[in-house]
Amino acid sequence: MPQPIPILEIKDLNVSRNSEQVIEQANFTVEQGDYVGVVGPNGGGKTTLLSVILNLLPYSSGSIRLFGEDIARFAAWEKIAYISQHATSFESSFPLTVRELVSLGCIRKGNIGRRFMREDWKAVDDSIDFMGLTDVADRRIGQLSGGQKQRVFVAKALARNPELIFLDEPIVGVDSDAQERFYKKLSDLNTERKTTILIVTHDLTSVFCRMSKVLCVNKRVEVAQITEGLDADRLLKRAYGEHFHFVFHKHECTGVFSHER
Amino acid sequence: MNVQEFSAMSVNLFDLFGYQFFQYALLGGVIVAVACAIIGLFLILKKEAMIGDGLAHTAFGGVAVGLLLGVHPLLTALGVSVLAVFAISYMRRKKIAASDSAIAVMLALGFSTGLIVISLAGGFNVELFSYLFGSILTIDIVDLLLVSFLGLAVLLFVAFFRRELLSMVFDEDDSRIMGIPTKGLSIAFDLLVAVTIVLSIKVIGTILVVALLVLPGLCALKLNLSFRKTLFAAVGFSVLSTVLGILFSALFDIALAVDIATSGLIVFVLVMFFLLTLVYKKIG
């Protein structure tokens, strides 16, 4: 069996903000092809953890390695795409069409200030097609439904063919049907393109049914492979508190998404 | 023949295009209109439209210093505006003051400096007035060359970096992760804002610069177009208003012998366009 390739390695990571410890002694690894759900109570440090990994916030001690490189020296940011919590809350009057927004995803270090090549435009159209947005490609992004908006931002991320995608609570304010279609698309992306995905979410059912790993964050970070025998309830109790109760049977996932399309 | 000599004569509108001062005015006006519309649209999308007003008023201090020292006032205005835009950016970054407060501080500082310098120089004069309210029909070849050079710098920068700018305006964090040098791009954009404002002073004056920056973009945004088309529409509104403003000003002069400030007419046409786009949005 081939050795899994670590894409993200976190060792003894401590993060403080305003002299308060937010992340304490975090240790985990994300491997190529992983589909990781990041869960935990509000204020538990999920977004902070993501921001530190993306070099948007500093950390106090420990180490972060991306694609085998220490974050301080890491330069291949074009391998990474990030969809923030606020991505879909742009002004509805912002003058961008779906195709224009997705095309912004093709900007990378090597082509700053240069014309896009034919391959770039092909990547744009392929991403729009993959996310099922061809019909609305020329529509303004402010005119899209909540579900379509999320898919546009994933399409934008896909346009430069990233190896790792971070998504921070992308399903807020969207109906359950659109949520399920969104997770289905992410699953396709993970299986068909082998893209590693790390998603912050509160949708525990989707995490345990669709994803390969779960990261529970509440100051301390616990990681678990999602398998048939996983005691999800015990794991989540440590993050959410003893009052929390979650029953999960992996075999019951079949049928949960019966109306997928 | 300059504009003063011209006013004493009676000519028809078409003859106007044969006069050098009129050609300079139209050419300078169009260059400034294009630069303002483009930079203004990005400012609106960044929600920083008022920086235009702040910098224009600050530039007034620079104009006064230039007049006092006998240096071309647009050059001193450029120096002062560049300093002001960096000061605003510094205050914002170091959280000394929020954007609007930082703009207010620089506006007050620049304008008061201007007043002190004017007092020292012995009071207001006609030339200073032309920078306050614009004096497009008195543009000379030096002004025109300066405006063309600065206008070209704006156009080239936006032609090369429009996507990166748009990405940064839309989502700065994401742009940084994508490898866009957001810090450098922000500094370059701030410089362009200062340059655009200074080159607009001669056309529309420091008081009304903000209109030429903001109104074309606002009109275009009401049409619900793609970014590319919005940019072209903003340039269209801006150029059309400027040309019409200049023509109306000349027309009033010829037909009615009434001297109306061209900058006032340009802004008036822009406001009319804005009202029309509002109606279009309401019924469309």
Q: What is the ipTM of this complex?
A: 0.84
Position B124 pLDDT exceeds 60: no
Position A176 pLDDT exceeds 50: yes
Average pLDDT over residues B97-101: 86
Position A221 pLDDT exceeds 50: yes
Q: Which residue of B has its CA nearest to A94?
A: B45
Position A260 pLDDT exceeds 60: no
Mutate which: B163, B232, B235, vs A, most A CBs within 10 A: B163
Residue A74 at interface with chain B, using a CB cutoff of 8 Å? no
Residue A54 at interface with chain B, using a CB cutoff of 8 Å? yes
A34: helix, coil or strand?
Answer: coil
Per-residue pLDDT tens digits for B25-47 = 999 999 999 999 999 999 999 98
Check CB contact under 8 Å for B166 and A77. no
- Name the percent of chain B lying above pLDDT 90: 43
Position B8 pLDDT exceeds 60: no
Q: Which residue of B has its CA nearest to A95?
A: B227
Per-residue pLDDT tens digits for A9-48 = 999 999 998 888 999 999 999 999 999 999 988 888 999 9
| φ/ψ (deg, to 5) at A213 | -140, 155
Check CB contact under 8 Å for B177 and A80. yes
**Which two structure tokens, joined as six digits, stand for B261?**
């400030």
Residue B41 is assigned to a structural domain of this protein: yes
Closest CA to A56 of A29, A77, A42, A36: A77
Residue A117 at interface with chain B, using a CB cutoff of 8 Å? no
Residue A109 at interface with chain B, using a CB cutoff of 8 Å? yes
Residue B108 is assigned to a structural domain of this protein: yes
Residue B56 is assigned to a structural domain of this protein: yes
Q: Which residue of B has its CA nearest to A160?
A: B178
Lowest mean pLDDT among A45-49, A190-194, B216-220: A190-194
Sketch the domain layout of chain A as residue ranges: 6-253
| Chain B residues within 8 A of A95 when measuring between CB atoms | 45, 220-221, 224-227, 230
Query: pLDDT band for position B1 (50/70/90)?
Result: low
Q: What is the mean pLDDT of chain B?
A: 87
Q: What is the mean pLDDT of chain A?
A: 85
What does the pLDDT read at residue A99? 96
Going from the C-alpha of B278 to that of each of B46, B79, B222, B270, the distances in angstroms are 22, 38, 7, 12
Closest Cα in chain B, distance from residue A213 (Å): 25
Lowest mean pLDDT among A59-73, B122-136, B163-177: B122-136
Side-chain half-sphere exposure of A228, counting CA atoms within 13 A: 2
Closest CA to A32 of A64, A55, A66: A66
Closest Cα in chain B, distance from residue A245 (Å): 36
Gap between the Cα atoms of B196 and B206, Å rounded: 12
Domain count, chain B: 1
Residues 6+ apart with CB under 8 A from A165: A80, A81, A82, A83, A154, A157, A189, A195, A196, A197, A198
CA dihedral A104, A108, A114, A116 (to 10 degrees): -50
What does the pLDDT read at residue B227? 96
What does the pLDDT read at residue A169? 79
Position A259 pLDDT exceeds 60: no
Average pLDDT over residues B84-110: 89
Which string of b and e fits B55-77 if b means at least 16 CB within 10 Å? bbbbbbbbbbbbbeeeeebbebb
Check CB contact under 8 Å for A113 and B221. no
Position B121 pLDDT exceeds 80: no
Residues of B near A (Cβ–Cβ under 8 Å) read: 45, 160-161, 163-164, 166-167, 170-171, 173-181, 220-221, 224-228, 230
What does the pLDDT read at residue B157? 93
Check CB contact under 8 Å for A103 and B161. no
What does the pLDDT read at residue A257? 44
Per-residue pLDDT tens digits for A245-258 = 776 666 666 544 44
Q: CB pairs below 8 Å between A and B: how many? A: 74
Position B74 pLDDT exceeds 90: no
Check CB contact under 8 Å for A108 and B178. yes
Residue B1 is assigned to a structural domain of this protein: no
- Kindly report the pTM of this predicted structure: 0.84
Average pLDDT over residues A226-232: 74
Residue B4 is assigned to a structural domain of this protein: no
Residue B46 is assigned to a structural domain of this protein: yes
- Left if phi > 0, otherwise alpha if psi is -120 to 50, otherwise beta: which for A102? alpha
Supply the range of the domain harboring residue B139: 13-283
Position A80 pLDDT exceeds 70: yes
Q: Which residue of A has its CA nearest to B158?
A: A113
Which is more confident, A247 or A50?
Answer: A50
Which is more confident, B142 or B235?
Answer: B235
A6-253 architecture in CATH?
3-Layer(aba) Sandwich (3.40)
Which is more confident, A244 or B145?
Answer: B145
**Which two structure tokens, joined as six digits, stand for B33?**
């209109």
Per-residue pLDDT tens digits for B152-179 = 999 999 999 999 999 999 988 888 888 8
